[in-house]
Chain A
Amino acid sequence: MDLIANLSTGFSVALAPINLVFVTAGVIIGTLIGALPGIGPVAGLSILIPLAFGMDPTGAMILMCGVYYGCMYGGTITSVLLNVPGESSSLMTCLDGYQMAQQGRAGPALTIAAIGSFIAGTFSVVMLTLLAPPLAEAALSFGPPEYFALMLLGLSAITGLTGRSRAKGYAMGFIGLAMATIGLDPLGGVPRFSFGHLELLDGIGFLPIAVGMFGLGTVLAMVDAPADIKIMKTTLREMVITRQDMKESAMPIVRGTIIGFAVGVLPGAGATISTFLAYAAEKRLSKTPEKFGTGTIAGVAAPESANNASTGGAMIPLLTLGIPGSGTTAVLLGVLTLFSLQPGPLLFTKNPEFVWGLIASMYIGNVMLLVLNIAFVPAFVSVLKIPYRILAPLIAIFCLVGVYSVNNSLLDLWLMFTFGLIGYLANKLAYPLAPLVLALVLGGYMEVSLRQSLKMAQGDLSVFFTRPIAAVIMVIAIAIILWPLFAKLFSRSPQAGKLPVSAEEI
């Protein structure tokens, strides 16, 4: 496949005026969502799903992806200026970023973060451009056993997303699988878990559940405690960075990018973890580790690059293989499914304008974000002044009208409402939502692949291990699933094998 030809197709799609509007809107919305504490990318994307539903698929994904990587830029703003992370992947930036702001160096912090984010984001899109086609081509030879193994690999990500209580994470995963099972059995027409209700025969919609759990759930969490953001007066006169700043940030940006990209590609580890690892690596490699936490620019450059690099990385398995590795990419996968666009090798052959248009617009989006985050920070800061008292009900009614607009279905609205409550309670009780979404989105395909594989092999389970690619993927997936057990057996610490995650892991 000719790379140049693909990219030119892509750019001709991405540069179409309507798609330029979408990418602009997406990155602006993403920056705002990233900056606003209390709403993360998963919530933001979920709230937008009904919009996407009414749009052309290419434009919709350009918008949604713009929101996705835009969030990584936006989170820096409140981290640096207010010591409040806009979302979990900007947590590490608070450590040194806020200190720099206290020293009157908020401007350089934000600028370096923007530059690092741009370099990292663009690098990861370049890697996506280079790695996706060969990977998609290799995946063309995949059959049901390989797909089952891949879905299992995707689901194995759940073990990384469980947070402190593994039992809770698994419970959510299984519940997600159960929800995926509701409706008519795809291979037999037998109703399952419908309890006699006709409306459930088509399964329960991903859209009202996602909007409810993440959108409404977030709204409820917003109103349960007064949380107006106190914007302190900060001067942003100097967004200018010194040569010293650039020298000190260069390698951290490089290292952060590589770490972020690698972590992003892996299922189960998302932007948040990449920032922890990048920060820790910088501190370890630094000649002055004691300065970390007091306002070193490396402490800002590294995590900010990492979280952006992870977005492009996460898009690779999503687009080429259909495996989402985190809650956010699971929502993106859900959206693709709503459009009947099955990600994977067929996406590249059947819908090249869509895929390459999306990839091309990611380059454009990153450029826009670089400009926005250096030149327009005061504008974003002023949006943060909108009190939650107005924002929360606005989002709530937006969700309601959004879900209504899709199907005019009262059932959908009640589903959204119920899952809003469930999402709120789940957050309070520390039940991670990402495993549920992942299982809901992947469960159906996984079951179909399993049954088709065994039908092909006439019940012989070894089919998963005699085909080389399936075997390799199965081994990796099983290793990931069993890893926590090994870690626990060989270590005394009760937290062994558990990665630090927030309730909303991205």
Chain B
Amino acid sequence: MEKAEAAAGILILIIGAVLLIAAYPLPYMVESVPGPGFLPLWVSLGIIASGAAVTVSAVRGRLRPGEPIPWPDLPGWRQVGVMLVALALALVLFDDLGFVITTTAFMTIVIFSLGVRSWVTLITAPIAAAAILYAVFALWLGVPLPQGILTFMG
């Protein structure tokens, strides 16, 4: 029994079921021509069927015979976690803190947690990153980047 695989299969099954319920009330055929409900119905059935197939194969242990899933080790999970949390924070605070602060803070935090300890790198890499992004997005593409709390700088 391949647990993670089975769980994924069941998740797909559930998604299919939810979509089927959403698709059901839609008109399937309108004057002998497929209506808005046609594709949603078949798609949700397809998802349910493939989800079931995956789950069955996983329960039987047939999906990856002898080959474990390449999950990262614990430090690896930590790195992934840090990246995700940092990104989520950056995303939420991007407008408020502004582009410069978010970019440099993100870079500093992440490269530090990934193991960089050299002072030079910890200072230059975030600055370089902000500079590159500024050059590409603000200068070249003319995209207005949020200044956030740095608006007093004009």
Contacts and interface: CB of A to CB of B under 8 A. Distances in A.
Interface of A: 51, 54-55, 165, 167-168, 170-171, 173-175, 177-178, 181, 185, 187-188, 190, 192-193, 195, 216, 219-220, 223-226, 387, 389-390, 392-394, 396-398, 400-402, 404-405, 410, 413-414, 417, 420-421, 424-425, 428-431, 443, 447, 450-451, 454-455, 458-459
Most B CB atoms within 10 A — which of A54, A216, A397, A428? Answer: A397
B47 A397 contact: no
A389 B114 contact: yes
Given A51-B141, A178-B44, A396 B83 contact: yes
B97 interface: no
Interface of B: 4-5, 8, 12, 15-16, 19, 22-23, 26-27, 30-36, 38-40, 43-44, 46-47, 50-51, 53-54, 57, 63-64, 69-73, 76-77, 79-80, 83-84, 86-88, 90-91, 94, 99, 103, 106-107, 110-111, 114-116, 121, 125, 129, 132-133, 136-137, 141-143, 145
B33 A389 contact: no
A447 B39 contact: yes
Contact of B77 (A181, A224, A447): A224
Contacts of B70: 428
A393 B106 contact: yes
Contacts of B77: 224
A192 to B, nearest CB: 6
B43 A174 contact: yes
Nearest to A394: B129
A55 B8 contact: no
B51 A454 contact: no
A54 B143 contact: yes
B50 A167 contact: yes
Contacts of A421: 84
A223 B79 contact: yes
Nearest to A387: B116
A423 to B, nearest CB: 12
A87 B151 CA distance: 43
A421 B107 CA distance: 19
Contacts of A219: 83
Nearest to A444: B39
B107 A394 contact: yes
Given A51-B136, A223-B80, A428-B71, A178 B19 contact: yes
Given A178-B43, A401-B137, A396 B33 contact: no
Given A223-B79, A224-B76, A397-B90, 9 more contacts: A54-B141, A54-B143, A171-B47, A177-B39, A178-B47, A223-B80, A394-B107, A414-B91, A428-B71
A425 B116 CA distance: 26
B87 A400 contact: yes
Given A51-B136, A167-B50, A428-B71, A401 B103 contact: yes
5 contacts: A55-B141, A175-B12, A192-B40, A193-B19, A430-B64
Contacts of B106: 393, 396-397
Contacts of A425: 8
Considering the complex of A and B, which 5 residue pairs feature the smallest CB-CB distances, nearest first? A459-B32, A224-B72, A167-B53, A171-B50, A54-B141
Contacts of B27: 190
B26 A192 contact: yes
A458 B87 contact: no
A174 B50 contact: yes
Nearest to B30: A188
Nearest to B109: A393
Given A393-B111, A428-B70, A175 B47 contact: yes
B33 to A, nearest CB: 5
B72 A225 contact: yes
A167 B72 contact: no
B80 A424 contact: yes
A206 to B, nearest CB: 18
B15 A175 contact: yes
Given A397-B90, A397-B129, A429-B69, A190 B26 contact: yes
B87 A396 contact: yes
A185 B133 contact: no
A417 B44 CA distance: 25
B54 A168 contact: yes
Contacts of A397: 90, 103, 106-107, 129, 133
A213 B86 CA distance: 18
Nearest to A446: B39
Contact of A225 (B34, B76, B133, B145): B76
Given A175-B47, A396-B110, A404 B57 contact: no
Given A192-B26, A421-B84, A171 B12 contact: yes
A428 to B, nearest CB: 6
B80 A167 contact: no
A178 B40 contact: yes
